[in-house]
Chains A and B, each alone.
Chain A
Amino acid sequence: MTGTDTLKARNAIEAVWRIESARVIAGVARMVRDLGQAEELAQDALVAALEQWPQSGVPSNPGAWLMSTAKRRAIDMLRRKENLDRKHQELGHTQSTETDAADAGLAPDEVRDDMLRLIFTTCHPVLSAESRVALTLKLVGGLSTAEIARAYLVGESTLAQRIVRAKKTLSTSNVPFEVPAGAELAERLGSVLEVIYLIFNEGYSATAGDDWVRPALCEDALRLGRIMAALAPDFAEVHGLTALMEIQASRIRARVGPDGAPVLLLDQDRGRWDQLLIRRGLTELAIAERLGPRGPYTLQAALAACHARARTPEETDWERIAELYAELAALTPSPVIELNRAVALGMARGPAAGLELVDKLLTEPALKNYHLLPSVRADLLMKLGRGEEARAEFLRAAQLTANERERALLLERAESCLAVRA
């Protein structure tokens, strides 16, 4: 076999791994009840594949091969353990169904349950947000440590340590490999969705590195969201989050100009919006709304959908946007949401309506030093022809912002107010 052939075989095996690893880890974790051990056993199966497949060829059902190899090793390991007797009973029970499932290639509901257990465990609140993200990408997304390290611009050893620590924490905290039930389920589902959206946002407006967007991370998050939507189809917010990500991702091509500078929503070339993703997002949103009630992700998806449905900025249904912000504010009260609602109201019903709401926010302590409050207020005042007041507000906003480019823009607008007065 030539070097190129070996490399090709390796790549093919890695591709199989990407597809199968989560299911294999989840299936083994159910037996050994320890995520770290399950991953090691699954990795052993991968090593065996790397040794054997280049010679023997890739088996016709590589997923089942990996699964049964990993499970055989799990059984060996469990047999060696001292508490053989107790485990033996469980094992005798699981073993028969396992092997059948592996032979049949798939036992959808069993696989679904295993996958859910896996996701709930990697997103367990006992872990820090960054650990949850890393562990989920690794064990559920099937990414390598190197790939995750590259995506998050941290050293590979740092990331490897983070993952080791996370698995240790799960083990020492005795986190059960289970799907939570009852009241805990809603909270834990929230953690899963949060992790997925964190990954998406890191790709959508990167906080690290030079790139403004990193589409690959958005795609990984979308894939996780779509997997969750298939695994837990009865939960509105799962579809809400997927809808939100699909619609936001539909704009990725349009939100960066040829020079790499961000292009803002209302300035984007809507012809570059990805209609396939919009359609997928609107379908997911419809499912979320049918299941109801509308949670924060579904509401944000509905907001994104208002823009996605408008063929031109002028067609935007600002009245609806204002309503949705009101619903969102009722659910998660925030003066920033109120400020957004004021902007939408100003667009829908004229600047006076927007200003009325903005003025109510003037005493809001959380917005005291928030430069967008005076800048929104200034904009509305200017539209009302109150140039002098608008100018003062733009100057105040310019004072509050920490960003030079923004300050320059605000000062420029302050100057333009003088023309309104004259």
Chain B
Amino acid sequence: MRFMVIVKATPEQEASGGAMPSAEDLELMGKFNEELVRAGVMLAGEGLLPSAKGAKVSFDHGKTTVTDGPFTEAKELIAGFWLLQTRSMEETVEWAKRIPFQEGEVEIRQISELEDFEPVMTPEIAEREQRLRDQLSGN
């Protein structure tokens, strides 16, 4: 299963104008990310610049409106994300608890996946057919 761990923006982060975090914070975050990689659970992760450098596109029945940042509703803004592959929500929560944050909030959402397929062929047939068709792929 895949989960997105969404880091909520704080007013400080929003106001920072995209300033780099401290070396110490970077070091801690680097260690944490390394842990995720070593455990084989990290698919991706990025930090985002403040909304001042962002834009919004809104849709209204065929009409699009573009609004440049910054956006005021800081609570709804996100500052970054991780994409994790784990075996359960509980495991993801456990990883999230280890994020080296002093304050703030992350939100965990499961990514929808197409997992339940209705079987209509036996695997043997499917496998053979796959091999055959792979060979005949030039048609």
Contact = CB atoms under 8 A, between A and B. Distances in A.
A230 B125 contact: no
A262 interface: yes
A381 interface: no
Given A225-B40, A276-B43, A401 B126 contact: no
Given A224-B40, A347-B138, A213 B132 contact: no
B121 A339 contact: no
A264 B44 contact: no
Interface string B90-121: 11011100000000000000000111011111
Interface of A: 11-12, 14-16, 18-19, 62, 106, 112, 143, 205-213, 215-216, 219-220, 222-227, 230-231, 253, 256, 259-262, 264-267, 276, 280, 339-340, 343, 346-347, 351, 371-372, 375-376, 379, 383, 401-403, 405-406, 409-410
Interface of B: 1, 35, 37-41, 43-44, 83, 85, 87-88, 90-91, 93-95, 113-115, 117-139
B39 to A, nearest CB: 7
Among B44, B133, B139, find the residue whose CB has the most chain A CB atoms closer than 10 A: B133
18 contacts: A12-B94, A15-B91, A15-B94, A62-B94, A143-B87, A211-B117, A224-B40, A227-B39, A230-B37, A231-B38, A253-B114, A260-B118, A261-B120, A264-B134, A340-B135, A343-B138, A375-B135, A402-B128
Given A343-B137, A406-B132, 16 more contacts: A15-B90, A19-B95, A206-B123, A212-B121, A216-B115, A256-B114, A256-B117, A259-B118, A262-B126, A264-B134, A266-B137, A343-B134, A347-B138, A371-B132, A372-B135, A379-B138
A65 to B, nearest CB: 13
B40 A212 contact: no
Contact of B132 (A15, A16, A409): A409
B40 A226 contact: yes
B119 A15 contact: no
A265 B137 contact: yes
A129 B133 CA distance: 30
A223 B40 contact: yes
A346 B138 contact: yes
Q: A-side binding surface: helix, strand, loop or mixed?
A: helix
Nearest to B83: A276
Given A15-B91, A212-B126, A261-B120, A383 B138 contact: yes
A372 B119 contact: no
Among B1, B37, B114, find the residue whose CB has the most chain A CB atoms closer than 10 A: B114
Contacts of A143: 87
B91 A264 contact: no
A259 B91 CA distance: 32
B129 A403 contact: yes
B119 to A, nearest CB: 4
Contacts of B137: 264-266, 343, 347
Contacts of B130: 205, 262, 264
A340 B134 CA distance: 9
B43 to A, nearest CB: 6
